């Protein structure tokens, strides 16, 4: 049953990619469609990063005896035992820091995976288009202006703010 589902899903993915991926011209021209996909990918990643902050802030608020300022002080030690001792970190604070660090690491790893998958499958051309756009945005003011315009239009998609 699972194999049948995976085969159907794989088939749908292939068909979807064939229809959605843009064809790069021989001179590697970046199309508006490519740029929009790139901007959408980056907006998704930005929202995922914001979600980490929201989660951490929620953990800080719900932890008895923890304040934002104290968390910053603890986080500044980066888990170094000598530095934690220097700021007189209590056992519960050290455990809390470990929990938050673990959550942040897991979420960051997930973001990296999503970014890689979207860069290769959504933006297309096995990541080459993504890399091309990223590089071109650094040196092409006209493309950067077009990109900024697309990003501004996508800002309204986040209704959670």
Residues contacting 151, CB < 8 A, separation 6+: 39, 42, 43
Residue 158 has pLDDT above 50, yes or no: yes
Q: Are 35 and 143 in contact (CB under 8 A)?
A: yes
Q: Tell me 122's DSSP state.
A: T
Predicted confidence at residue 110, as pLDDT, reads: 96
Please state at what angle helix 68-75 crosses helix 91-121, rounded to 10 degrees: 80
Q: Of residues 127 and 102, which shows the higher confidence score?
A: 102
Whole-angstrom Cα distance, residue 10 to residue 125?
A: 18
Handedness of CA 111, 114, 117, 119 (dihedral sign): negative
**Domain locations along the chain:** 30-157
pTM of the model: 0.69
């Amino acid at each position: 049953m699972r194999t049948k589902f995976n085969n159907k899903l794989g088939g749908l993915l292939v068909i979807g990619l064939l229809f959605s991926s843009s064809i790069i011209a021989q001179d590697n021209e970046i199309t508006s469609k490519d740029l929009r996909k790139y901007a959408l990918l980056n907006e998704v990643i930005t929202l995922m990063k914001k979600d980490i902050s929201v989660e951490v802030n929620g953990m800080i608020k719900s932890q008895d005896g923890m304040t934002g300022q104290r968390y910053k002080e603890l986080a500044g030690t980066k888990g170094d035992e000598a530095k934690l001792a220097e700021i007189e970190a209590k056992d519960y604070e050290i455990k809390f820091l470990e929990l938050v660090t673990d959550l942040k690491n897991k979420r960051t790893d997930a973001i990296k995976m999503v970014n890689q998958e979207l860069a290769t499958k959504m933006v297309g051309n096995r990541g080459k288009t993504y890399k091309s756009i990223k590089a071109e945005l650094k040196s092409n003011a006209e493309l950067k202006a077009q990109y900024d315009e697309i990003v501004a239009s996508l800002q309204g998609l986040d209704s959670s703010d």
